[in-house]
Amino acid sequence: MTILVIAEHDNAELKGATFNTIAAAQKIGGDIHVLVAGSGADTVAEQAAKAAGVAKVLLADGAQLGDSLAENIAAQVLAVAKDYSHILFPATASGKNVAPRVAATLDVAQISDIIGVESADTFERPIYAGNAIATVQSSDAIKVITVRTTAFDAVAAEGGSAAIDKAEAVADSGLSSFVGREVAKSDRPELAGAAVVVSGGRGMGSAENFKLLDPLADKLGAALGASRAAVDAGYAPNDWQVGQTGKIVAPQLYVAIGISGAIQHLAGMKDSKVIVAINKDAEAPIFGVADYGLVADLFQAVPELVQAL
């Protein structure tokens, strides 16, 4: 049994999600190979080779693989797929984009967002916005899986010494082309991997007021998040959204400020170790999951909290 993990990277750096996905692969058991498909991604392949538990790195390098277009990346995965019993992607935007394409071409079902491995063919995954956990068994010859990265502790980034093999890059599909990218700049830790997350909701009132969270996030070394209501109202950028349809986070500490706690939001953060809620509505559902709740006006409580830290 050999497992292929598809690396998440930006051609310069291997993303943390890959290490969590390798950890899930270790739970399944067997040799672990990592596929790095990209353009000028040699450094990424070297980083992958150093990750603990990796037996081999496949590097497919070509200009057409540089922009992570689903059509080309899926074709690249399919070019090597037959040698593997499991193909694992991190359940990130790019993993979710490519994995089903690979599965359908192989005529196998895909298992989304696994949070647990019971055996080599049986996995746990959340359904209904995390309100139920389904245990599913696959009888397909090749299992195509996306891994919820927050559910598996990352393997060490150092310590491995895998060989790097070149894989032949597939030709450009010609179906799609890359036009441009707008990256939201941030000096804060990445939301999905942060140890502390401070999130604001509709209760913040305005984009201006959202800045109130900056000093708190600075003090805690936290990433900033937001509820869908706050994002839709334009208080915070899209990629800050935590929830069923945004990012799934599981930090050590999650501070929800002015967030009522709709089920779609809870789906994105209820596996956090400690949850703190600050809300003036004592009946808000967020208090149902919070370890520590403070019923107070956030405009007084947040500055006070910054002072006290």
- In the shown chain, the binding pattern of residues 81 to 100 toward other proteins, with x for contact by CB under 8 A and - for none, equals -----------xxx-xxxxx
Question: Please, which residue, 116 or 205, has the CB nearer to other proteins?
Answer: 116
Interface stretch with other proteins, choices 26-34, 122-130, 155-163, 210-218 (CB under 8 A): 122-130
β pairing state of 110-114 and 163-167: unpaired
Q: Phi and psi of 195, rounded to 5°?
A: -80, -25
Contact 283, 295 (CB under 8 A): no
User: Which of 1, 63, 177, 297 lies at the binding interface for other proteins (CB under 8 A)?
Assistant: 177
241 is in an annotated binding site: yes
Residues 52-81 close enough to bind other proteins by CB under 8 A: 69-71, 74
26 is in an annotated binding site: no
Report the sign of the C-alpha dihedral through residues 54, 60, 63, 64, in that order.
negative
258 is in an annotated binding site: yes
Contact 118, 124 (CB under 8 A): yes
Contact 141, 109 (CB under 8 A): no
Contact 54, 46 (CB under 8 A): no
Interface stretch with other proteins, choices 51-59, 151-159, 168-176, 206-214 (CB under 8 A): 168-176
How far apart (Å, rounded) are the C-alpha atoms in residues 224 and 211?
10
The single-letter DSSP state of residue 238 is: G
> Which among 93, 92, 100 has a CA at the least distance from the CA of 71?
100
Question: Please, which residue, 54 or 223, has the CB nearer to other proteins?
Answer: 223
Q: Cβ of residue 306: shortest distance to other proteins, in angstroms?
A: 10
Q: Cβ of residue 157: shortest distance to other proteins, in angstroms?
A: 19
Report if residue 112 touches other proteins, rule: CB under 8 A: yes
Residues 210-249 close enough to bind other proteins by CB under 8 A: 220, 228, 232, 238-239, 244-245, 247
Report if residue 110 touches other proteins, rule: CB under 8 A: yes
260 is in an annotated binding site: yes
Check residue 104 and give left, alpha or beta (phi > 0: left; psi -120 to 50: alpha).
alpha
- In the shown chain, the binding pattern of residues 15 to 54 toward other proteins, with x for contact by CB under 8 A and - for none, equals ----------------------------------------
Interface stretch with other proteins, choices 18-26, 80-88, 105-113, 198-206 (CB under 8 A): 105-113
State the distance between the two ends of the chain, measured CA to CA, in whole angstroms. Answer: 51
Report if residue 136 touches other proteins, rule: CB under 8 A: yes
How far apart (Å, rounded) are the C-alpha atoms in residues 279 and 247?
22
Residue 127 neighbours by CB distance under 10 Å: 12
Q: Phi and psi of 212, rounded to 5°?
A: -55, -25
With CB under 8 A, what is the number of residues at the site for other proteins? Answer: 87
Residues 6+ apart with CB under 8 A from 186: none
Report if residue 119 touches other proteins, rule: CB under 8 A: no
Interface stretch with other proteins, choices 19-27, 47-55, 130-138, 163-171 (CB under 8 A): 130-138
User: Which of 2, 43, 85, 264 lies at the binding interface for other proteins (CB under 8 A)?
Assistant: 264
